[in-house]
Chains A and B, each alone.
Chain A
Amino acid sequence: EVQLVESGGGLVQPGGSLRLSCAASGFTFRDYEMNWVRQAPGEGLEWLSYITSGGSTVYYADSVKGRFTISRDNAKNSLYLQMNSLRAEDTAVYYCGRERMNAFDIWGQGTMVTVSS
């Protein structure tokens, strides 16, 4: 079964850090571009970051540029999002998504990140 499973979410204080992981299975992970998307409570979807299949090119939304870092380990079939200098407005469900034909065809179930003191 083609699947993405996120982990690493939780409660963190403002200014803190968290590393999210996305484990891929059921497909050849190294062949696909990947993305991170988040959704604040009661809000819409916000694209955060993109990485090419080999990891050489990355892009970020302005809202997280300089604070978040996307990376991947193709040997471990895993995608990561290192989140630093977290703010209350970063509170959201974080999803990873596989990109195919310039659309996100497979999504994980999401992991909740809460930034609060």
Chain B
Amino acid sequence: DIQMTQSPSTLSASVGDRVTITCRASQSITTWLAWYQQKPGKAPKLLIYKASSLESGVPSRFSGSGSGTEFTLTISSLQPDDFATYYCQQCKSYSRTFGQGTKVEVK
């Protein structure tokens, strides 16, 4: 199975900060990577698919990049609504593995 590792596990930031989350795959997944945002008690929300494609309705401050085994999610200017947990997910193999999550908290 393909393993997904996110870093950091927790990130403390302030409104207006540029935030970057990294996701590494245990083997190449080309660009079959998605990013999700989840708030407490809510279902995850798709932000980015195919590594860098922005889902409809998602603010442009969110962006994704990478290919192969290394990927990043960047929030260009953190907004109050962005404090949440973020997950990456690979969809290359039949087992659609998630990363362990990165919690973005108030500094």
Residues of A within 8 A of B (CB): 35, 37, 44-47, 50, 59, 61-62, 95, 99-105, 107-110
Interface residues on chain B, size class: 20 to 34
B34 and A104 contact, CB distance less than 8 A: yes
Q: Is the interface of B mostly helix, strand, loop or mixed?
A: loop
Q: Is the interface of A mostly helix, strand, loop or mixed?
A: strand
Return the contact of A107 from the options B44, B49, B50, B94 (Cβ within 8 A).
B44
B97 and A47 contact, CB distance less than 8 A: yes
What's the minimum C-beta distance from A65 to chain B, rounded to whole angstroms? 11
CB of B100 closer than 8 Å to a CB of A: yes
CB of B46 closer than 8 Å to a CB of A: yes
Return the contact of B98 from the options A44, A62, A105 (Cβ within 8 A).
A44
